[in-house]
A and B are shown apart, each in its own frame.
Chain A
Amino acid sequence: MLTPEKIEEWLKEAEERPGSAVLLIRYIANRLNELSARNEELLADNIALRLGRKVEEYESRIANLEYQLDLLKRQAAAPGGAPGQAAGPAQAPAQASWVVVLYTPQGQLLKAGLPAVLEEGAAAQLPGPIDPQAPPGLLLVGEHEELLLIYDSGRSLTLPAASLPTAQPLDWGRASLFEPRGIEALAAVVPVGRMALADFAIQASRRGCLKKLPESFFESCVAKDFVGSGVKLPADQTFGLSLCGKADQMVLVSQGGFVAAASVERLPFTIEEALRLATNDHLVAAFPLAGRDTLLFVTNNGKAVQRDASWLDPGLSAKSAGQALLTAARRGAGMRMVGAAAVTPEDWGLALLSDGSLNLYRLGDLLARGALLPADSSLEVVAFSVMA
């Protein structure tokens, strides 16, 4: 693009108006700076290609995808397995290998392994204490899961969970870094291994907006490393993404304890507000029901609140304030939601406590107990996740 004629024209401009020379230099220097950063990225890619690292990475990813496919085939063949419920749990979780993935907006990813046979109690320990206002993201996934990292700019990238090194002990100094570019932040990490069996991907924003993408389009977005931010207001931010079936219902839960359900089929393809939140409120969970009939809500003081799926009011209009799960008095006393999910008693959940400990819970027992923490505990639950 840079022809000798163009350079000649720039020089003539500088001769005619000497004041332009300074601007010309400034513009060219800025561009050079930009291009040299880009060049460095390309050189790094080139080196990885020449060393065969890229090939290894792709081979490992293909192997992982083949494994996922095999797993899905077995699930689909199993009684009760339906493609629309693709986001459901593995049939025998205790026999699969599970890992914990923690992430920060700065793009740090930490992986911790879990024993093949899961047991209730402390599973790992992060250096504490954890700031309850800005806890790390928490995910409990199969070790062969494919992860999608979504940045708040809408950029995305995929990587197999298996490619992350297991940190022992858990320390942010040992984290893998998937650094955001410029001013962007890592907004969410979601499992997408079962992408091919879903009908739609639903992207949620912190302020309660939803965006629906057909699976085929979502797949091409993932391939192009750009799924979009899913926000329409500058003050909003990408929250997460879920895979779901056509007949599914999306459930949104806010920190203030407001819950809304929306039929996936009726959701528009544009970004629309599905839950109207107060200015100081934001989402803490967005998930599809996926055929499950029990909802679990976890609060910061360790309560495990159970509701039947029939409790959800599908008649509430979009943009409504939702159903209130917490009373105003409890909200006033500082109680808030930290996580929620549609569950079965066989599932397992993982809670990150304010002292940095990561505790595993069999959800059947947890639902019966109704609490994650003993009554006299001074700790707080800062994040909660169930098996994805």
Chain B
Amino acid sequence: MTLRVGIDFGTSNSGVAAYDGRSVHLLPVDPHSAMPGVIKTILYITRDQRPYVGQEAVELYYRQNVNRLRRFVKKWAGEIDVRGSDMHYVHDVYTFVDELSPGRLLQYIKTALRSPGYQGTQIFDRYYTLGEIITLYLHELKRRAEDLLHEKIGGVVLGRPVQFHSDPELDRRAEETLRQAALEAGFAQVSFELEPVAAALDYEQGLARPQTSMIFDFGGGTLDITIMRLGDPAHRQVYASRGLGIAGSDFDRAIIEKRLLTHFGLGRASLSPELQELVHAVADWSALPDLSTPPVRLRLEKAILESGAPARLKALQALIFNDLAFSFYNAVETAKINLSSQGVAVIGLKEKDLDLWELYTRRQFETDIMEHRQAVEQLVLEAVAAAGLEPPQVDAVVKTGGSSNIPAFGALLEGLFGAERVRSSDAFSSVTAGLAIRAMQG
């Protein structure tokens, strides 16, 4: 019989599990991590095109990049035809390339599936399509899982959000890209299950009698809600599913925009609009690495000498040019996670020319994400209404995913359904476990 596993390919974290009919085995695919059963969805490709994933990728990235040497060369990138009514000329386009860059770090890969405009990226001398990037990651997960199981894996059930995209055609295309990537990675059979349904299957293992449950799967990239009848495998029924493109990364962005940009000069009247724009880019994790070019360095150096905020601009320069972006976003995420268990956390980063210290409270955080909280509340009520139910008719609300640990959302659910009906499952592995159960059931 072909061995089939479940893989949760998440926005921030992923996991692989196998089910033997009695219990789920979450595979320790990331031995470098503090939680080996959960692997960061991070890929680092070195200049010699070697891929590294998870914690190993993070550590190698830090080792090779932080405070490293750079050498920019101007390279011809192509030409643009400019046509007017009475003229036509060709304009050469140049780009600055860091010749000494040792590798490229890719994170939030799954989010790219939601962006129809994202086709792929050039990494040194090779162009990778989005599918190829995902293939590299899944291939490494498969290899590690096979090493642990001492057996070839033939099939996989992959989790997918309720919706990648609100446009059905783009949603289908995203799923197809993921399917092709899994096939390319060496899985002979590939099928999908909705992530909240997978979490429900895991939750169902502990049920003694049937009940109507709402799965509240709130991860790094999306919020997925499914209301279904559980407890009797012969009569499982999905009443309604809803999805929303809000999750952990949006909260990080809100924290940066509302609390941290002042550390880099925002609000200083002496800063030119170009510099203000540069400061605003700090909130965008994908834009920051692209800013490390000689013209930006020159502009910043000039401003450090001339403007009224030299220390803050020096901090901005360090953040951009010392490859501290990844450490910075990690510091924000860590503080956010800490606020789930305590009322106060520090967002701190101390490096050369950069001494960031922001005391941040849970109350401030809840204010900063108020808009998102309202959107989540609306989605929950929509899902209940679409299921043809009233909140009291939902027997249990099961929280899963890292963002479901945020107290504001726990309080929201308790307010709507009653504290006694809100339950937590394993935030990082319940979807993986459910996918493994689905894989076994065929």
Contacts and interface: CB of A to CB of B under 8 A. Distances in A.
B363 A13 contact: yes
Nearest to A6: B359
A24 interface: yes
Interface of B: 63-64, 67-69, 71, 100, 102, 262-263, 342-344, 346, 352, 357, 359, 361-364
B369 to A, nearest CB: 15
Given A27-B359, A270-B102, A17 B343 contact: yes
A12 B361 CA distance: 9
A16 B367 CA distance: 14
Given A13-B362, A154-B67, A23 B343 contact: yes
A213 B69 CA distance: 8
Given A17-B343, A232-B64, 7 more contacts: A13-B343, A13-B344, A20-B361, A24-B359, A217-B69, A232-B63, A269-B71
* Residue of B68, B69, B352, B362 most packed against chain A (CB within 10 A): B69
A13 B262 contact: no
Contacts of B71: 214, 269
The interface size bin for chain A is: 20 to 34
B359 A10 contact: yes
B342 A23 contact: yes
A27 B342 CA distance: 13
B67 A226 contact: yes
Contacts of A269: 69, 71, 100
Contacts of A19: 342-343
Contacts of B69: 213-214, 217, 269
A23 B346 CA distance: 10
21 contacts: A1-B263, A6-B359, A10-B344, A12-B363, A13-B344, A13-B361, A16-B363, A17-B343, A19-B343, A20-B342, A20-B343, A20-B361, A20-B362, A23-B344, A27-B344, A28-B359, A213-B69, A214-B69, A217-B69, A269-B71, A270-B64
A228 B343 contact: no
Contacts of A24: 344, 359, 361
A269 to B, nearest CB: 5
Given A226-B352, A269-B69, A27 B364 contact: no
A154 B263 CA distance: 25
A203 to B, nearest CB: 11
A226 B68 CA distance: 11
* Residue of A20, A217, A270 most packed against chain B (CB within 10 A): A270
B47 to A, nearest CB: 9
A40 interface: no
B366 to A, nearest CB: 10
A270 B359 CA distance: 37
Interface of A: 1, 6, 9-10, 12-13, 16-17, 19-20, 23-24, 27-28, 31, 154, 213-214, 217, 224, 226, 228, 232, 269-270
Given A213-B69, A269-B69, A269-B100, A9 B363 contact: yes
A93 B68 CA distance: 38
A33 to B, nearest CB: 12
B283 to A, nearest CB: 18
A31 B71 CA distance: 37
A40 to B, nearest CB: 16
A234 to B, nearest CB: 10
B344 A20 contact: yes
A355 to B, nearest CB: 43
Nearest to B367: A9
Contacts of B262: 1
A20 B346 CA distance: 12
A213 B71 CA distance: 11
A184 to B, nearest CB: 13
Contacts of B343: 13, 16-17, 19-20, 23
Contacts of A6: 359
Contacts of A214: 69, 71
B153 to A, nearest CB: 34
A10 B71 CA distance: 44
A354 B1 CA distance: 72
Contacts of A10: 344, 359, 361
A219 to B, nearest CB: 13
A79 B276 CA distance: 57
Nearest to B47: A270
B351 to A, nearest CB: 10
A31 B358 CA distance: 10
A154 B68 CA distance: 12
Contacts of A1: 262-263
Contacts of B100: 269-270
A217 B262 CA distance: 31
B292 to A, nearest CB: 15
Contacts of A228: 67
Question: Which are the 4 A-B pairs with shortest beta-carbon distances?
Answer: A20-B343, A13-B361, A17-B343, A23-B344
Contacts of B68: 270
Contacts of B357: 31
A19 B361 CA distance: 12
A28 B357 CA distance: 10
A15 to B, nearest CB: 9
A61 B359 CA distance: 42
Contacts of A270: 64, 68, 100, 102
A296 to B, nearest CB: 33
Nearest to A226: B352
B282 to A, nearest CB: 16
A133 B363 CA distance: 56
A217 B100 CA distance: 13
Contacts of B63: 232
Contacts of A20: 342-344, 361-362
Nearest to B363: A13
A270 B263 CA distance: 31
Nearest to A213: B69
